Amino acid sequence: MKKHLLNILFLSLSILTISGCSSNDESDPEVVVDPPVIVDTDPLTTANAASYLVDANATKETVALFYNLKKLAKTKFAIGQQAAFNSFYQDAGGDSDIKKNTGYDPAVLGSDFMFIADKANNNQVGNWFYGEEIKIVADVKLAYAKGMINTFSWHLREPAKEETFYTSEMTSEQKATAFKSILPNGSNHEWYKKKLDKIASVVSNLKGANGELIPIIFRPFHEFDGSWFWWGASFCSPDEYKTAYQFTVDYLKNTKGVHNILYAFSPDRSFTTQTDYLSRYPGDKYVDVLGMDNYGDFDNQGSAGANIANSKLKIISDLAKTKVKITALAETGYQVTSTKPPVADWFSTYLYSALTSNNIEVSYVLFWNNTKDGYWVPNGTVSNASDFKTFSSKTKSALVNSLPKMYELPK
């Protein structure tokens, strides 16, 4: 309405100028157009979008997902949760906890290749691990049908005994040799290829209602700057990390012919500069999504922690603008338990500020999965439910109902 009134004012002033004022009269009133026109300097277009992906042969739906995620970040960020359709606070099944609270499903579903690639998965009905695979595949298809975005992490168990991915549960020898052993010519390289074969098989059979391949975002070797996973920085050199990441992408893309993956690079929060962030970066030809996992900066530190997190997202966002990549807060949250109460306004004030301040462009944020004994996202029954609901309804927040058609390029 405001813009309509201004247009009328502009036309009226123009008529007055033509009929009764000299064009040289310096007292002519200046008409200001509101809102100002924003010039989009993003080089990404529907015509050239495919050229910016890691995979030159990516499916058209995968290209569209990249394009739409990149453009979405200019106005909104998508809100998601790990295992949203299967992990509930107090085991209260049914709708996702986000939908219980807001009335809408999340915009992003997080999944994991852990059980899918587990040595105990024998691909037989009745096997618990295979049952988890079937469940995850069904969830991914459901999310896609709803118009949601699918992203996968991979908590890969170490190659020696395949019992854990945490270094706290490994011997010194295992920690020193595990990552190096999966590199080309390493003693467990063929083992690693078989794991990738299983992932390739599953991803190549993720199909929508019309037989089209469902795009996913894959985040291998995440939080690599910490020492809690066996692929962490304490257990491999930067070059070794880059080699493993590059091999993973090349093997899936070129050897296995999987063309419905966007690849995400996602350290934890230890970096403070672009140089830090890129210290193990495998290269623009191998990464579609520049991410960060960050729990610690938000852990009960209020606005100070939110500002720190925002400064790191600013580093990533600026890089993504230059490199034409997607920016993501790939994992985050503040877990509430019986001994850890919620922080007032954590979602609507602190997290929202971290995701939006200083002109950053973040495409999505993912919370970890709820459990029987704790939650990262409140359902409708807990004390901070209204805080999340307020957060999800803010101008730049997007649940699934606020997404564009993510798998189609705009006409």
369 found inside a domain: yes
Give residue-wise pLDDT tens across range 169-213. Answer: 999 999 999 999 999 999 999 999 999 999 999 999 999 999 999
User: What pLDDT does residue 1 have?
Assistant: 43
Q: 374 and 243, same structural domain?
A: yes
Domain ranges, residue 5: 1-37
pLDDT value of residue 40: 58
Query: What pLDDT sits at residue 302?
Result: 87
Does residue 409 form part of some domain?
no
Specify if 165 maps to a domain.
yes
My answer on whether 33 and 98 are in the same domain is no
In a shared domain, residues 104 and 26? no
The pLDDT tens digits for 327-360 are 999 999 999 999 999 999 999 999 999 999 999 9
- Is 355 inside any structural domain? yes
Q: Does 8 share its domain with 97? A: no
State in Å, rounded, how far the first CA of the chain is from the last one: 28
- Could you tell me if residue 410 is inside a domain? no
Nearest of 392, 335, 396, 399 to residue 367 by alpha carbon = 335
Does residue 353 lie within any of the structural domains? Answer: yes
What string of DSSP letters covers 333-384? ---EETTBPPPTTIIIIIIHHHHHGGG----EEEEPPP-SSEESS--TTSTT
Q: What is the pLDDT of residue 14?
A: 37
**Is the same domain home to 20 and 81?**
no
355 and 263 together in one domain: yes
* pLDDT at res. 301: 78
In a domain, 19, yes or no: yes
Nearest one of 177, 267, 252, 256 to 221, comparing CA atoms: 267
Residue 382 sits in a domain whose CATH number is: 3.20.20.80
The amino acid sitting at 2 is K
CA torsion angle 336 340 345 349 (round to 10): -80
- Quote the distance between the C-alpha of residue 250 and its chain's center: 21
Q: Are 15 and 75 in the same domain? A: no
Mean pLDDT of each 10-residue bin along the chain, 411 residues long: 39 34 39 48 93 98 98 98 97 96 98 98 97 98 98 98 98 97 98 98 98 98 98 98 98 98 98 98 98 94 94 98 98 97 96 98 98 97 97 98 98 90
Do 64 and 111 lie in one domain? The reply is yes
> Quick one: pLDDT at residue 41?
73
The values of phi and psi at residue 109, to 5°, are -115, 125
Co-location of 117 and 255 in the same domain? yes
The residue written with tokens 């649940």 in the block is 399
Tokens 């900066």 appear where? 297
Rounded CA-CA distance 45/63 in Å is 11
Tally of domains within the chain: 2
Asked whether residue 138 falls in the same domain as residue 22, the answer is no
Using alpha carbons, list the distances in angstroms from residue 356 to 108, 298, 305, 365: 18, 15, 14, 12
What is the set of active-site residues? 223, 331
Q: Does 411 fall in a domain?
A: no
Same domain, 86 and 183: yes
Domain match, 33 and 53 both: no
